[in-house]
Chains A and B, each alone.
Chain A
Amino acid sequence: MNVLQRILSLLTAAGLLAAAFSASAHHSRALHFDIEQEITREGVVSSWQWRNPHPFIFLDVATASGETETWAVELPNTVAMTRRGWTPETVAVGDHLTITGSPGRDGRRIMTLSSAHRAEDGWEWRGFGFRNND
Chain B
Amino acid sequence: MNITRQSRHALAAGIALTALIAANAATAQQDFWGYWEPVIHEDARYRGGEGAHKGDYAGIPLNAEGRRVADAWDPDEYYLPELQCAPHGAAYIMRGPVRFRFDHEDANTILMRMELQEQERRFYLDGREWPGGELEWQGHSTARWEGETLTVVTTYMRPRYLRRNGVPHSENAVMREHYVRHGDYLTVIAVVEDPQYLTGPFVRSSTFVKTEPFEFIPYPCEPIIWPNGVPGV
B231 touches A28 (CB 8 A): no
Q: Count B interface residues, CB 8 Å.
A: 39
**Quick one: which of A25, A51, A82, A83 contacts B49, CB cutoff 8 A?**
A25
B48 touches A134 (CB 8 A): yes
A71 touches B217 (CB 8 A): no
When C-beta atoms are compared, the residue in chain B nearest to A111 turns out to be B232
A22 touches B47 (CB 8 A): yes
Q: Which of B132-140, B144-152, B179-187, B220-228 contacts A (4 or more CB under 8 A)?
A: B220-228
B47 touches A27 (CB 8 A): no
A29 touches B51 (CB 8 A): yes
Q: Is the interface of B mostly helix, strand, loop or mixed?
A: loop
Per-residue A-contact encoding for B22-54, CB less than 8 Å = 1, 0 else: 000000000000000111100010111111111
**Quick one: which of B49, B88, B115 contacts A23, CB cutoff 8 A?**
B49
A30 touches B51 (CB 8 A): yes
A29 touches B115 (CB 8 A): no
B97 touches A53 (CB 8 A): no
- B220 / chain A contacts, CB cutoff of 8 Å: 51-52, 78
- B231 / chain A contacts, CB cutoff of 8 Å: 56, 72, 74, 104, 108, 110
- A80 / chain B contacts, CB cutoff of 8 Å: 97
A52 to B118, CA, bound (A): 12
B96 touches A24 (CB 8 A): yes
Per-residue B-contact encoding for A42-85, CB less than 8 Å = 1, 0 else: 00000001011100100000000000000110101111101100
Per-residue A-contact encoding for B41-75, CB less than 8 Å = 1, 0 else: 00010111111111000000000000000000001
**Quick one: which of B49, B115, B165 contacts A133, CB cutoff 8 A?**
B49
Within 8 A of A (CB), among B195-233: 217-224, 230-233
When C-beta atoms are compared, the residue in chain A nearest to B222 turns out to be A51
Per-residue B-contact encoding for A1-36, CB less than 8 Å = 1, 0 else: 000000000000000000001111111111110010
Min Cβ gap A8→B in Å is 21
A128 to B49, CA, bound (A): 10
Known: A21-B40, A24-B48, A78-B220. 15 other contacts (CB 8 A): A22-B38, A24-B96, A27-B51, A27-B78, A28-B164, A31-B78, A51-B221, A51-B224, A52-B220, A71-B232, A74-B231, A79-B219, A82-B217, A109-B232, A133-B48
Q: Give 28 A-B contacts (CB < 8 Å), ordered by A residue.
A: A21-B40, A22-B40, A23-B49, A24-B40, A25-B49, A26-B96, A28-B50, A28-B52, A28-B53, A28-B75, A28-B165, A31-B78, A32-B75, A49-B224, A51-B220, A51-B221, A51-B222, A52-B85, A52-B219, A52-B222, A53-B223, A79-B217, A80-B97, A83-B217, A108-B233, A110-B232, A130-B50, A133-B48
Q: Give me the interface of A with B, judged by CB distance under 8 Å.
A: 21-32, 35, 49, 51-53, 56, 71-72, 74, 76-80, 82-83, 104, 108-110, 128-134
